[in-house]
Chains A and B, each alone.
Chain A
């Protein structure tokens, strides 16, 4: 990255971060909440981009990681008194990481389509478990809880308002972006990209491709779990719907719309998707099947704009 590119990148990052930071002061509560939600879904999509865009594996099971993050956080918030934010984060991440380890161990033995199907089936297994074990997970009704205080327990804490949550989410998402970007630029990330470009050759050079793939799935699952924790904090409940396959499908749509292999593209894709959905809901009423036009847009993007909305920036963003 040349010096000019660096200034441009950090300048752009700073401006967008600042805009998102001040938005709670300007936007009405509905749109502020909407923006927080976009950031959370964006983080989920970003985590899936590690697999789709950088390693060349399409995961149809990200809802499992996301949902387990939610249920992990819910468990910590319901069982420990007083509710503790850090513990919720830790539990959500541990739950998601445990699931990711299992899924990664089995699914990375397979490639392409088989990988996609295996991840999908794993997410359905978790869905069935969560849906049917009513005593633990609340079954179809899910679990409801209160938002914990924000701060360091015992030292300092403030009530966790919606504005506070927005800044917290923004900090986590921006931090995750920088971390993931750094990881993708590291030698580890380069190996992942070389697996995407040519797996047999990467193996021939001497890299243990399977281990890299397991690490990639686990990394991706961890950040998806983080998104799940944030979503649980925002909506104060965990429900089996979020473990369902539809969430994985939407994650993939965000990726394809925004542009895979860019990390920010999926966030833009999530924003575009959710905004389109919102506008269609306002124009045609709440019962309008927004996924029909969005499905057509999705197919058109695959055929005519395979790089996605931010595809033109892909090379520059990865410098």
Chain B
């Protein structure tokens, strides 16, 4: 096959649609991964339960939406409730482990993820739930009717991440978080209540996961296994982007999602996941500090 015929047969419309899809998924993934990377950066905890927090957010959204009928109320309530849950989880399971081998925190959060996943299965059953989109408008994109809601998701995720970035940069408590990330002992010496900063950072990360869960729920089915798929992707993104780097995570989230979206033009979506796995393996081999961060000196 010559290059010319390849270009001629190349599905350009599909390619553009998939680009858009990839960016939308990438923004959601960035929202999840930035919570994960915040938690890792500040306290060296790899939160294995992050996907389950995402799932929990989606389920709280389902329940509130069924009760009140308002999507936006569901979004706010889910974010707040899961944030509080995250704080409680940090106090109960992670605080006693401070000063121990960091691997114990993986095990503890893994325990939490088991509990949450099985709770969801027990409470809501194996049947997937659906959330209807709050905005139903569509615009035509080539041969597709593309829903506005997808663009709204990308915009909202970007807004949340942007707000979070401004908070870290200029807010008083954001500066506390950054100070604690840089040097825990010095921050403590300056009078910053480090344990509470940890709890707050964990709660923020959990809340962001929950928000992305509710936002993303209309696009996929909400069920008890959705957490694992997403936490794996978020792990990949966080490692590819450079552990603890917010900007790197966002760039990597969009990069990985785009690659997966393009791959699913040719192979089935369940096999397209392998592309991101391969990206991760190559990153680990050739640039273990992350693709989207400056080379450490």
Q: Are A and B associated in one complex?
A: yes
Asked if A112 and B108 make an inter-chain contact with CB atoms under 8 angstroms apart, the answer reads no
Q: Once bound together, how far apart are the Cα atoms of A292 and B271, in whole Å?
A: 31
**Least CB distance, B105 to chain A, in whole angstroms:** 9
Asked if A116 and B103 make an inter-chain contact with CB atoms under 8 angstroms apart, the answer reads yes
Asked if A112 and B270 make an inter-chain contact with CB atoms under 8 angstroms apart, the answer reads no
Q: Once bound together, how far apart are the Cα atoms of A129 and B119, in whole Å?
A: 29
Asked if A116 and B97 make an inter-chain contact with CB atoms under 8 angstroms apart, the answer reads no
For the residues of A in contact with B, the DSSP-based class is helix
Which residues of A, 93-137, contact B by the 8 Å Cβ criterion? 106, 109-110, 112-114, 116-118, 120-122, 124-125, 128-129, 131-132
Asked if B288 and A299 make an inter-chain contact with CB atoms under 8 angstroms apart, the answer reads no
Among candidates B96, B119, B285, residue contacting A106 with C-beta atoms closer than 8 Å: B285
Asked if A252 and B271 make an inter-chain contact with CB atoms under 8 angstroms apart, the answer reads no
Q: Which residues of A contact B112 (CB under 8 A)?
A: 295, 299
Asked if B121 and A295 make an inter-chain contact with CB atoms under 8 angstroms apart, the answer reads no
Asked if B111 and A302 make an inter-chain contact with CB atoms under 8 angstroms apart, the answer reads yes
**Least CB distance, B124 to chain A, in whole angstroms:** 12
Bitwise interface map of B from 122 to 145 toward A, beta carbon under 8 Å scored 1, else 0: 100000000000000000000000
Cβ of A296 < 8 Å from any Cβ of B? yes
Bitwise interface map of A from 12 to 35 toward B, beta carbon under 8 Å scored 1, else 0: 000000000000000000000000
Q: Once bound together, how far apart are the Cα atoms of A129 and B274, in whole Å?
A: 9
Asked if A132 and B107 make an inter-chain contact with CB atoms under 8 angstroms apart, the answer reads no
A113 to B, closest residue via Cβ: B46
Cβ of B104 < 8 Å from any Cβ of A? yes
Q: Flag the segment in B13-21, B183-191, B228-236 that touches A.
A: B228-236
Q: Once bound together, how far apart are the Cα atoms of A56 and B108, in whole Å?
A: 17
Choose among B46, B110, B271, B285 the residue with the greatest number of A CB atoms under 10 Å from its CB.
B110
**Least CB distance, B98 to chain A, in whole angstroms:** 11
Which residues of A, 272-304, contact B by the 8 Å Cβ criterion? 289, 291-292, 294-296, 298-299, 302-303
Among candidates A112, A125, A249, A303, residue contacting B277 with C-beta atoms closer than 8 Å: A125
Asked if A292 and B107 make an inter-chain contact with CB atoms under 8 angstroms apart, the answer reads no
Asked if B103 and A114 make an inter-chain contact with CB atoms under 8 angstroms apart, the answer reads no
Cβ of A306 < 8 Å from any Cβ of B? yes
Asked if B271 and A299 make an inter-chain contact with CB atoms under 8 angstroms apart, the answer reads no
**Least CB distance, A283 to chain B, in whole angstroms:** 15
**Least CB distance, A296 to chain B, in whole angstroms:** 7
Among candidates A112, A121, A292, residue contacting B119 with C-beta atoms closer than 8 Å: A292
Given A109-B285, A112-B103, A121 contacting B235 (CB threshold 8 A)? yes
**Least CB distance, B227 to chain A, in whole angstroms:** 11
Asked if A295 and B114 make an inter-chain contact with CB atoms under 8 angstroms apart, the answer reads yes
Q: Which residues of B contact A128 (CB under 8 A)?
A: 270-271, 273-274
Given A116-B103, A117-B239, A299 contacting B285 (CB threshold 8 A)? no
Given A110-B284, A292-B115, A252 contacting B107 (CB threshold 8 A)? yes
Asked if B107 and A106 make an inter-chain contact with CB atoms under 8 angstroms apart, the answer reads no
Cβ of B281 < 8 Å from any Cβ of A? yes
Number of B residues near A (Cβ < 8 Å) is: 37
Cβ of B60 < 8 Å from any Cβ of A? no
Q: Which residues of B contact A303 (CB under 8 A)?
A: 93, 96-97, 108
Asked if B103 and A110 make an inter-chain contact with CB atoms under 8 angstroms apart, the answer reads no
Bitwise interface map of A from 164 to 175 toward B, beta carbon under 8 Å scored 1, else 0: 000000000000
Given A125-B274, A303-B96, A306-B104, A109 contacting B111 (CB threshold 8 A)? no
Q: Once bound together, how far apart are the Cα atoms of A298 and B104, in whole Å?
A: 11
Bitwise interface map of B from 180 to 204 toward A, beta carbon under 8 Å scored 1, else 0: 0000000000000000000000000
A121 to B, closest residue via Cβ: B277
**Least CB distance, B26 to chain A, in whole angstroms:** 19
**Least CB distance, A176 to chain B, in whole angstroms:** 25
Asked if A292 and B288 make an inter-chain contact with CB atoms under 8 angstroms apart, the answer reads no
Q: Once bound together, how far apart are the Cα atoms of A292 and B116, in whole Å?
A: 8
Cβ of A41 < 8 Å from any Cβ of B? no
Given A124-B232, A128-B271, A289-B119, A113 contacting B288 (CB threshold 8 A)? no
Q: Once bound together, how far apart are the Cα atoms of A125 and B276, in whole Å?
A: 10
**Least CB distance, B293 to chain A, in whole angstroms:** 15
Among candidates B106, B108, B118, B122, residue contacting A299 with C-beta atoms closer than 8 Å: B108
A-B pairs, 9 with minimum CB distance: A295-B115, A289-B122, A299-B111, A289-B118, A295-B114, A291-B118, A298-B111, A113-B46, A303-B96
Interface residues of B (CB under 8 A from A): 46, 93, 96-97, 100, 102-104, 106-108, 110-112, 114-115, 117-119, 121-122, 228, 232, 235-236, 239, 268, 270-271, 273-274, 277, 280-281, 284-285, 288
Kindly list 17 other residue pairs between chains A and B, CB separation below 8 angstroms, not including A124-B232, A249-B110: A58-B106, A106-B284, A109-B284, A109-B285, A114-B284, A118-B281, A118-B284, A121-B277, A125-B274, A128-B271, A128-B273, A129-B274, A249-B114, A252-B110, A291-B115, A292-B114, A303-B97
